[in-house]
Each structure stands twice: as structure tokens, then as C-alpha cells.
Amino acid sequence: MDTNWFCVAAAMGLGWFATMPSLRGESTPKTAANSIGMTLVRIEPGAFAMGQDKGGDFDERPTHQVTISKPFFIAATEVTNAQYERFDPAHRALRGKKGLCTDDDEPVVFVSWHDAVKYCEWLSKKEGKPYRLPTEAEWEYVCRAGTTTPFNTGADLPEVYQKRQKLEWAPLPVKLNVAKTPANPWGLFDMHGNVEEWCHDWYGPYEAGDQTDPVGREGGDFRVSRGGSHTTQTFYLRSANRLGTLPEDKHWLIGFRVVQGELPKTRPLPKVPPERWAVDVKQDRFDWSGAPEASKPFFKGPIQYVKIPPKSEGPMYSKHNHCPALTACPNGDLLAIWYSTRTEPGRELAIVGTRLRRGSEEWEPAAPFWDGPDRNDHASSLWWDGKDTIYHFNGLCTDATWGKLALVMRTSTDNGATWSKARLINPEHWLRHMPISTIGTKEGYIVLACDAVTGGSGGTAVHVSKDGGKSWVDAGEGKPNPSFKAGGTGAWIAGIHAGVTQLEDGRLMALGRGDTINRKMPRSLSSDMGQTWAYSASPFPPIGGGQRLILKRLREGPLLCVTFTKQTTIKDAAGAERKVSGMFAALSHDSGETWPIRRLITDDKADRQVDGGGNTGWFTLGPNSAEPRGYMACTQTPDNMIHLISSKQYYVFNLAWIKAPMPARD
């Protein structure tokens, strides 16, 4: 018997030690072998409490009694490279990708849910017996193996099972050979960690009440995975912990194991009911002709749009809400989304949303919008094509942090009430895939700007679609690194979190954060739709942490930039010079060469404290000060009103208001 097994048992106490069948005087689990060398363990019917009420995640509640009514066989280990390559020899080329899983007996990774299902179909035909993925309930049943603790080893997971169990910003090599750690009480290996394992089920919330042979929801965006993996915190390796991702997704953290036995005939639970932002959405086309007179200045705000109950701990989080996206809808509503989390790199980070219905003065309380289970969804962009389609772009991480994102797109043709299934438009989990802003060009292209790095400087990538989002090209991918200096050139936009617009002559122009040039915010120009960029200094001061700018061509023609200043001087309506600070709007009528018109974004009322949320916190809003930082998103509706959101507040104004001098001080 493995010496490590005795060490683990001794460390955990005789109570757990005595649960092993051979030590209780019981027979060892019944096993069988198939023609490709898999060991299969027979699992007897039984019942267990599924989920974890205390100390777990929100989606593990409510705990509910589940009965597994029929026996089945399940593989003692995850499917290995050698076993999978009997089905797909070409997969051998992926061994060692990201430095992982090179050996015959390491688990196969870089397999999608669809790949796993096809493997089961191949094995069923080969063996003449039904093979499939386990249901989520079956997986937890066999992982627990009669235990009720967070791990089948007790309250904690002993060191012998752990394989780099901490958050990392990039994949690092670690050996994952199967069956090298002790089996659980039912003879199954690597149920806690190693690699995640695909399950049959669509992901969705649990329902209360006893269930027999549950098979998950009848639809959704995400398929469940279980067990956790190497290179993540042990919290995500618990028996009850639930993960999931798009069934097309494949990366270095997910593999699978197989079940031999018929799938239960149970009826799946219905799809999840729509959230508040998707209920009772009007579908008539809005008449935008009732806007305030264009020549008269109009301003309203700040109005809070982030509304999450205090002490929320999933699926929304009251601690940190940040990084918004905003769009108008054809029906006249505004739709805003942002990420909600405890910590920005965390697996719990989710996208939530709210709607400002036409005619309403108040944004609705927030509700979940899109969330890959236990995946960091960093970050979002919304864009309306001006016709019938709204686009949602999002990053989808392998686990945590924003350095390992794939790029996802969804569309809605009913004012954001329902959305197409999420589609991976760039499936590689790596840099250059964190959405920031989206524009449409006069050629009919969609241009999506995405951060190209994880730090505070280093550039923004541009993804371009020329066919309405069907296909995409990362315009600068694989090209030489930029030379971020005046007169320099490169394949990226200078600065992260870039705002991008198209000039009248067809060139793209961008402003970004970081990569300063001559102590100014960098300006990038491209005449080949983002393949190459030329760099120069803009007239604006650089911005830093907790700040994201806006760059937009207004419907009336001029360029709008909204950014931040620690201090600048403006002339008010009386011609007096005043020092102001914070968030301001600037206009250019010469393709960004000069920006003579500048206006602090404030209601000009007496100084008072306002909650800026996100990384902003409380700030002084008054005649000479506005938000000192914040991540902004902006849209202009067909009535020419400019709608701006920061990390927590909403403002609406028109071009005439920007042009009007700030009121004189009394």
C-alpha cells in the first residue's frame, strides 16, 4: 500500500481511516477493466446531501437530498493522454502546450465538452456498452464517497493531494500523472484537483426539495465542470464546488472521466427565469424626436445606477463594482453592465446589469447578467449597430486574473431581453482579449479594442470584423512590439484602456492610459484599420490607476474626449480664469489636433460628497471639482443626448452644454 496513504490517514485521524472498506472488514470496491486499459469502479445506489450550506459558494445552496437510484461504473481516473489518443491521434500535438500534460498517464487537457462527448460515443461503439459523462449529481456522490465534510479527506485537503494550489497569473509546469495520490473511500483517484472534469449538465441554480437522478437544467450557456484543478486555491477543490464554462471552451485546466451506464431518463429542470433587466422589455421602435432643443444646454446627474444590496456575497457582490459598459437600445432604453466581485483577480468576478427604461428617472436594481461559473469574466463592452442588433463582448478566463482570457461575443435582436448563445470569437486563453470599447466604421466594420497586457501600461489590441461579427481578426497579433515614443510605430495602440474612434478621412485614432509621450497622454493613429500605428503626444495629461477615458465621434461631427485632470484652468461665463480638477469633457473640430473647448462634468451646485464607487470612493462634487477617477462608458442616442456612466454614477448632457462656458462664481 502507498506510504503516502498511511501518512494521510494518520494525519486525519482514525475516524476517516476506518471508512476505507478494506479496514472495516468490507470487500474492496468492485472494479472492471475495458479494452483500452481503463479501470472502472462500480458505484452502488444511495442518497446524499448535495451542496454545502455553510462555508461554500452561493450556487451550492440550498443543500438538497439527492437519490442515485441505479448502479453505474465510473473510471477510477481521468481519461489520460494515451487513452484519448486512441480516439484522436492528432491530439498528441497538444501534449506539453503551456508546459503541461506531456506523459502518457497524465490527464488529457485542451478538450472541449463536445470533444469529451464524442470520445464517449467512440468508446461506446468500440466497447458495445454505453459510455457518457457523469451527471453533476453523480460526480458529487462519488467524490464524497459517503463523507459529509468539505473534502472526502475531511475539513481540509492534505498536502499530498495538492499540486500548486494557489492563484497564478500564467500556467506553470506541474506533474499531473493520474493515480499517484491516495484514492478516495470508493477507490477513485484525483477527485480533488489534478484537472477539472466535464459533467453532462447545463449549469444553473439549485432548487430546494428531494431529487432523484437529477440531470441539471434544460439549457444555458455553460456546461458544468467539477473537482477543481492544479494551480488554483483549495477552496475550489471542495466536493460541493461548482464550476463551468462554454461547452466549446478548451484549455489546460479541464479534462474528463467517463461513466459506463445509461443516462438517467429524468426530466431536466427548466431554464433559469429571466432577470429583472430582461422582463417586460418593450419591443416597439422608439421615436427619438422628443429631445430637448439642441441649441439649449442640457445636463442631468449624477444619478446612481449601481444598485446592489449591502452585504451581497453572490451572485452579486457589494464590495467592488467597476468597469462598466453602456448602450442604448432601439426601444429607447439604456442598458448598463459591469463587473461585480470581492477582488478584481478573483474567480467570483461576474457581470451584472441594469436597465434605465425610457421615460424613467431611476435605474433599476442590478441583477446578474452573464457569469461563467468560477471564471473571472474580465471585462465587457456593449455596442448597438444603430439598426436591430446589440452586441455584447466579454472576456472569459480559465480561472482567475485577467491574463488568461478568451474572447466571447453574444448578440440580441430584442432590445437586450434575450441573447444568442455565447460564442468564442478568439478561443485562445491569453492576452489581448479584455474588451474595453467598440465602434462601427463607415465601411461597415466592427472594431473592438481590448487590453493587450495585464499591467498599467503596454498597449491595446484591436480586433476587426468585416462581416457583422461572423469572423474576426486581431489586426496586430504576431507583429513586432510597438515603440511607444513620439514618431514611433508599432502594431498596438499606445496605452491600455484605449478609447478608439474613426476620423473623417477613415483613419483610426486612439487615446490610452500609460505609455506616456513627453509627459502627455499618448495618441495613436492607424491608416490600415489597426495593423500598424503611429504615436505622438496628445495635449491631455496622462491618467493612471482607477481611471479610464472616453473617446467618441459625436453625431454632430466633433470628437468628444472625457478624461481627468489633477488641475487645469478654464474660463467661466464671466471670463474669469478658474482652477478646476477631476472629470472633464473636451471637444475637437480638427481630428484631434486641438481641443479648445473643455467643460468640467459637474452640476455646478455647492460642494457636496458623492459616492463614486469602484476605485473612486467618496469625492467632492461642486463648481470646481468633479470625479477624480473612475472607469467610464458612453453612448450617444439618436436624439444626440450624450449618456455617460462612471464607476457608479450616471450623467446625461448634450453638445450645447459642453460648449457653454461654466457659470461664473457668485
pLDDT digits (tens, 9 = 90+) for 545-586: 999 999 999 999 999 999 999 999 998 999 999 999 999 999
Measured distance CA(662)–CA(573) in Å, rounded: 6
Q: Does residue 436 register a pLDDT over 90? A: yes
Q: Does residue 15 register a pLDDT over 60? A: no
Give residue 565's pLDDT: 96
Residue type, position 490, single letter: G
Q: Return the exposure string of 395-428: e unless at least 16 CB atoms fall within 10 Å of the residue's CB, then b.
A: bbbbbbbbbbbbbbbbbbeebbbebeebebbbbb
Average pLDDT in the chain: 94
Average pLDDT, integer, range 196-215: 97
Residue type, position 368, single letter: P
**Contact at 8 Å (CB) between 98 and 106?**
no
Q: How far is CA 131 from the centre of its chain?
A: 33
Q: Where are the beta strands (DSSP E) in 329-403?
A: 334-341, 350-356, 367-370, 380-384, 390-397
Average pLDDT, integer, range 617-624: 96
Show the DSSP H helices in 342-418 as ranges: none
Residue type, position 337, single letter: I
Sign of CA dihedral 176, 181, 185, 186: positive
Give the single-character DSSP code of 615: T
Give residue 29's pLDDT: 73
C-alpha cell at 659: 460648449
pLDDT over 90 percentage in the chain = 92
Which among 558, 553, 583, 590 is positioned nearest to 568, based on CA atoms? 583
Pairing of strands 64-68, 211-212: parallel
Measured distance CA(134)–CA(225) in Å, rounded: 10
Give residue 237's pLDDT: 98
> What is the SS3 assignment for 658?
helix
Query: What CATH code is assigned to 26-260?
Result: 3.90.1580.10
Q: Where are the domains of the chain?
A: 26-260, 276-430+539-659
Q: Does 16 or 630 have the greater pLDDT score? A: 630
- 197 sits in the region (left: phi over 0; alpha: psi -120 to 50; else beta) called beta
* Separation in Å, CA 441 to CA 463, 503, 509, 534: 13, 9, 12, 19
Q: Does residue 8 register a pLDDT over 60? A: no
**Contact at 8 Å (CB) between 351 and 339?**
yes
Give residue 439's pLDDT: 98
Measured distance CA(423)–CA(596) in Å, rounded: 43
Confidence of residue 3 (pLDDT cuts 50, 70, 90): very low
Pairing of strands 39-43, 72-75: antiparallel
| DSSP element (H, E) containing 141 | helix 136-144
Q: Does residue 80 register a pLDDT over 60? A: yes
Q: Does 392 or 480 have the greater pLDDT score? A: 392
Give residue 16's pLDDT: 33
Sign of CA dihedral 476, 479, 482, 483: negative
Measured distance CA(308)–CA(318) in Å, rounded: 6
Q: What is the CA radius of gyration of the chain?
A: 28
Measured distance CA(556)–CA(559) in Å, rounded: 9
**Contact at 8 Å (CB) between 640 and 295?**
no
Confidence of residue 28 (pLDDT cuts 50, 70, 90): low
Q: Does residue 2 register a pLDDT over 70? A: no
C-alpha cell at 255: 479534462
Measured distance CA(486)–CA(441) in Å, rounded: 27
pLDDT digits (tens, 9 = 90+) for 138-174: 999 999 999 999 999 999 999 999 999 999 999 999 9
Which residues face 328 on adjacent strands?
A: 334
Average pLDDT, integer, range 445-457: 95
Q: Does residue 659 register a pLDDT over 90? A: yes
Residue 526 buriedness (CB in 10 A; 0-12 / 13-18 / 19+): buried
Give residue 27's pLDDT: 54
Determine phi and psi for 120, rounding to 5 degrees: -60, -40
Give residue 290's pLDDT: 81
Give residue 481's pLDDT: 84
Give residue 291's pLDDT: 78
Confidence of residue 292 (pLDDT cuts 50, 70, 90): confident
pLDDT over 70 percentage in the chain = 96
pLDDT digits (tens, 9 = 90+) for 352-361: 999 999 999 9
CA atoms within 13 A on the CB side of 530: 28
**Contact at 8 Å (CB) between 372 and 246?**
yes
Give the list of residues 6+ apart from residue 154 with CB closer than 8 angstroms, or none. 12, 13, 16, 147
pTM (predicted TM-score): 0.94
Confidence of residue 479 (pLDDT cuts 50, 70, 90): confident
**Contact at 8 Å (CB) between 365 and 276?**
yes
Confidence of residue 216 (pLDDT cuts 50, 70, 90): very high
**Contact at 8 Å (CB) between 389 and 470?**
no
Give the single-character DSSP code of 491: S
**Contact at 8 Å (CB) between 502 and 495?**
no
Query: What CATH code is assigned to 276-430+539-659?
Result: 2.120.10
Tell me how crowded residue 225 is: count the other CB atoms within 10 A of its CB: 29
C-alpha cell at 358: 425610457
Give residue 646's pLDDT: 97
Q: Does residue 457 register a pLDDT over 90? A: no
pLDDT digits (tens, 9 = 90+) for 494-538: 999 999 999 999 999 999 999 999 999 999 999 999 999 999 999
